[in-house]
């Protein structure tokens, strides 16, 4: 076995109102992938941010090559050969791709000016090496979530660090990009790098891990070699109890059609998209990333325009093409990138939850604060949101708990149709189940859900029907009794049975 590259000993860290880490001992070998697992709020990101110099530990020591080091900020971390991909996408929207890659380390020429030619050359080379095809001059705000995430990965790798921390790197990228990343990780390993990898996706974890450490409530529960532990054991150690069925879907009697889209088209994005949703139904949208699912939902919700087509709610046309019009008609959407569209990070949990529906709590022109708080408390308890208080800024919650706040925000709105785009992204296994149960109870009161997800097992487990999109069109629809992974993938990739037969 290779030697220990990184070790932390007796690390402690508290934030106001929470002990995030207590007495953490943990080490990573050279040339291996060490996976860190744990529920939302377990302390994974906090530990990584300590290693990367974002936070200072209250106690404890970090060792590199068995020598104690003090890391005060991410720049020093890089000098020690550490780089990190952060869980929350933090980028400056106005910067271009090349500026964003080189911010903080722009090369200067002999006259002390930024050498933009070199920046361009190195950017092109990096993009090329990784097989990515975007222009160095595109602005970050014009990139999709998955492109931004790929750039973050690229940036971390470009420092040629010996220790690379990846905090949920695949939460927003396509399957193809995941494969690219995994190949890259293999290469980095071969060159002797140590990778610390955080993920909630068990299949990924078991594919790439050499060792697995499980954190729970700020403590290390166990470290095991991948071959000495099963998925079920990891989950049980993470949550500290046995879990209910993975997909607790209730059987429901479907009612009449409550929502319908006919011939929706936005040239260059999606074409002739028609579908319907019935009362008590959970309808899934599957497809590869880029198939146009999010674009359709955004258009329906009034975030983007569409050039033709009609939307009906309870048989009546929704004429308004604005977000407000949509909400007034009882249709709301939970968006894909919570930081872009979902929350105001510097504001508190309470404010974020009630923001979209404050008028509910106004009486004779005054805010009924007690009623507001009751509502927030109720919904947050139902969803098991871990927060020191309801005034805590959402920014300081763990990633998964931020996602739950976004969900809570829309639940309070009491919509009839809930559109959920990647609702369980970044959410731990226990909380996922809470969300599935919420979905069940939501539709049981004559409502309906449209869910876009890249996690096929989730769609297969929770939906009554699945529409599959490919290249901006509906490629087909499946009833629950016909659900299989293969059937969905065939439609999604546009390879029909006949074509396959012809090829053989
Ligand atoms: N900047 C901060 N200020 C206050 N509290 C914080 C801050 N960062 C983290 N915490 C708290 O520390 C605890 C651990 O959070 P952390 O982000 O490390 O969890 P995590 O394991 O990464 O979870 P997730 O899977 O949701 O990303 C949580 O209770 C969180 O609310
Ligand atoms: Mg985290």
Q: Where are the domains of the chain?
A: 4-94+139-239, 245-330+415-504, 342-414
- Judge if the beta carbon of residue 430 lies within 6 A of ligand 1: no
For domain 245-330+415-504, the CATH superfamily is: P-loop containing nucleotide triphosphate hydrolases (3.40.50.300)
Ligand nearest to the backbone CA of 46:
1
Cα distance between residue 100 and residue 93, in whole Å:
9
- Distance from residue 71's CA to the centre of ligand 1 (Å): 20
**Intervals of the chain under pLDDT 70:** 1-2, 242-243, 336-341, 494-504
Q: Degrees (nearest 5) of the Cα angle 88, 324, 393?
A: 30
Ligand nearest to the backbone CA of 85:
2
- Judge if the beta carbon of residue 424 lies within 6 A of ligand 1: no
pLDDT at 504: 39
Answer for the pair 481, 322: CB distance below 8 angstroms, yes or no.
no
Cα distance between residue 77 and residue 322, in whole Å:
46
Q: Which of 46, 165, 405 to mutate to test the pocket of ligand 1 (most atoms within 8 A of CB)?
A: 46
- Judge if the beta carbon of residue 400 lies within 6 A of ligand 1: yes
Q: Which of 397, 429, 432 to mutate to test the pocket of ligand 1 (most atoms within 8 A of CB)?
A: 397
Number of H helices, E strands in the chain: 17, 22
Calculate the alpha carbon distances from 113 to 105, 106, 120 in Å: 13, 10, 15
Q: Do domains 4-94+139-239 and 245-330+415-504 have the same CATH topology?
A: yes
Cα distance between residue 21 and residue 347, in whole Å:
24
- Judge if the beta carbon of residue 48 lies within 6 A of ligand 1: no
- Distance from residue 172's CA to the centre of ligand 2 (Å): 14
pLDDT at 227: 96
Per-residue model confidence as pLDDT tens digits over 298-310? 999 999 999 999 9
- Judge if the beta carbon of residue 348 lies within 6 A of ligand 1: no
Answer for the pair 407, 423: CB distance below 8 angstroms, yes or no.
yes
Q: Which atom of ligand 1 is nearest to the CA of 428?
A: 25
Nearest-CA neighbor of 70 among 86, 55, 91, 88?
Answer: 55
Answer for the pair 368, 359: CB distance below 8 angstroms, yes or no.
no
Nearest-CA neighbor of 431 among 9, 40, 25, 156?
Answer: 40
Q: Which of 14, 45, 52, 430 to mutate to test the pocket of ligand 1 (most atoms within 8 A of CB)?
A: 45
Ligand nearest to the backbone CA of 398:
1
Q: Which atom of ligand 1 is nearest to the CA of 400?
A: 26
The helix/strand/coil state of 163 is: strand
Q: Which of 13, 15, 37 to mutate to test the pocket of ligand 1 (most atoms within 8 A of CB)?
A: 15
Neighbours of ion ligand 2 (CB under 5 A): 45, 87, 399
Q: Which atom of ligand 1 is nearest to the CA of 200?
A: 25
Q: Which atom of ligand 1 is nearest to the CA of 168?
A: 27
Q: Degrees (nearest 5) of the Cα angle 293, 295, 296?
A: 70
- Distance from residue 129's CA to the centre of ligand 2 (Å): 29
pLDDT at 1: 53
Which positions ≥6 away from 345 have C-beta within 8 Å? 339, 393, 394, 395, 402
Which positions ≥6 away from 364 have C-beta within 8 Å? none
- Judge if the beta carbon of residue 28 lies within 6 A of ligand 1: no
Q: Which atom of ligand 1 is nearest to the CA of 41?
A: 19
Nearest CA to ligand 1 atom 4: 396
Answer yes or no: CATH 3.40.309.10 is held by domain 4-94+139-239: no
Characterize the bridge pairing of strands 257-266 and 308-313: antiparallel
Phi, psi (rounded to 5 degrees) for 419:
-100, 120
Nearest CA to ligand 1 atom 28: 41
- Distance from residue 398's CA to the centre of ligand 1 (Å): 4
- Judge if the beta carbon of residue 52 lies within 6 A of ligand 1: no
- Judge if the beta carbon of residue 153 lies within 6 A of ligand 1: no
- Distance from residue 375's CA to the centre of ligand 1 (Å): 24
């Amino acid at each position: 076995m290779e030697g220990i590259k990184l070790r932390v000993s007796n690390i402690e860290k508290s934030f106001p109102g929470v002990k995030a880490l207590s007495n953490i001992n943990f080490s990573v070998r050279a040339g291996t992938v060490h996976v860190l697992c744990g529920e939302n709020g377990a302390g994974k990101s906090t530990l990584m941010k300590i290693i990367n110099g974002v936070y200072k530990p209250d106690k404890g020591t970090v060792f590199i090559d068995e020598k104690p080091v003090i890391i005060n900020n991410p720049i020093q971390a890089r000098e020690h050969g550490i780089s990190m991909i952060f869980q929350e996408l933090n980028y400056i929207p106005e910067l271009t791709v090349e500026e964003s890659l080189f911010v903080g380390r722009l090369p200067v020429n002999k006259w002390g000016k930024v050498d933009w030619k070199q920046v361009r050359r190195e950017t092109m080379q990096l993009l090329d090496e990784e097989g990515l095809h975007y222009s160095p001059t595109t602005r970050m705000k014009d990139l999709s979530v998955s492109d931004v995430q790929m750039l973050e990965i690229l940036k971390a790798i470009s420092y040629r660090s010996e220790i690379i921390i990846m905090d949920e790197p695949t939460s927003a990228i396509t399957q193809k990009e995941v494969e690219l990343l995994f190949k890259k990780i293999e290469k980095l390993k071969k060159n002797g790098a140590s990778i610390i990898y955080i993920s909630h996706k068990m299949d990924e974890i078991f594919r790439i891990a050499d060792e697995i450490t499980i954190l729970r409530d700020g403590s290390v529960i166990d470290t095991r070699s991948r071959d000495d532990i099963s998925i079920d054991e990891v989950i049980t150690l993470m949550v500290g109890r046995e879990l209910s069925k993975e997909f607790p879907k209730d059987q429901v009697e479907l009612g009449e059609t409550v929502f319908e889209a006919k011939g929706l088209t936005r040239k260059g994005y999606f074409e002739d998209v028609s579908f319907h949703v019935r009362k008590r139904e959970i309808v899934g949208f599957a497809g590869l990333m880029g198939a146009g699912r999010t674009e359709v939902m955004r258009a329906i919700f009034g975030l983007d325009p569409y050039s033709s087509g009609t939307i009906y709610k309870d048989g009546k046309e929704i004429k308004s093409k604005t977000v407000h019009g949509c909400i007034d008609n009882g249709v709301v959407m939970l968006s894909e990138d919570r930081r872009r569209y979902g929350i105001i990070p510097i504001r508190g949990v309470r404010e974020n939850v009630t923001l979209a529906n404050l008028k509910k709590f106004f009486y004779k022109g005054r805010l009924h604060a007690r009623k507001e708080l009751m509502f927030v408390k109720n919904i947050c308890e139902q969803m098991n949101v871990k927060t020191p208080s309801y005034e805590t800024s959402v920014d300081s919650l763990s990633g998964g708990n931020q996602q739950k706040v976004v969900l809570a925000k829309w639940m309070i709105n009491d919509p009839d149709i809930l559109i959920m785009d990647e609702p369980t992204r970044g959410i731990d296994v226990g909380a996922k189940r809470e969300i599935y149960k919420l979905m069940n109870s939501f539709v049981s009161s004559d409502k309906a859900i449209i869910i876009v997800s890249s996690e096929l097992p989730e769609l297969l487990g929770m939906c009554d029907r699945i529409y599959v999109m490919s290249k901006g069109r509906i490629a087909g629809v499946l009833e629950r009794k016909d659900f299989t992974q293969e059937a969905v993938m065939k439609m999604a990739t546009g390879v029909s049975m006949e074509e396959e037969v012809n090829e053989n």
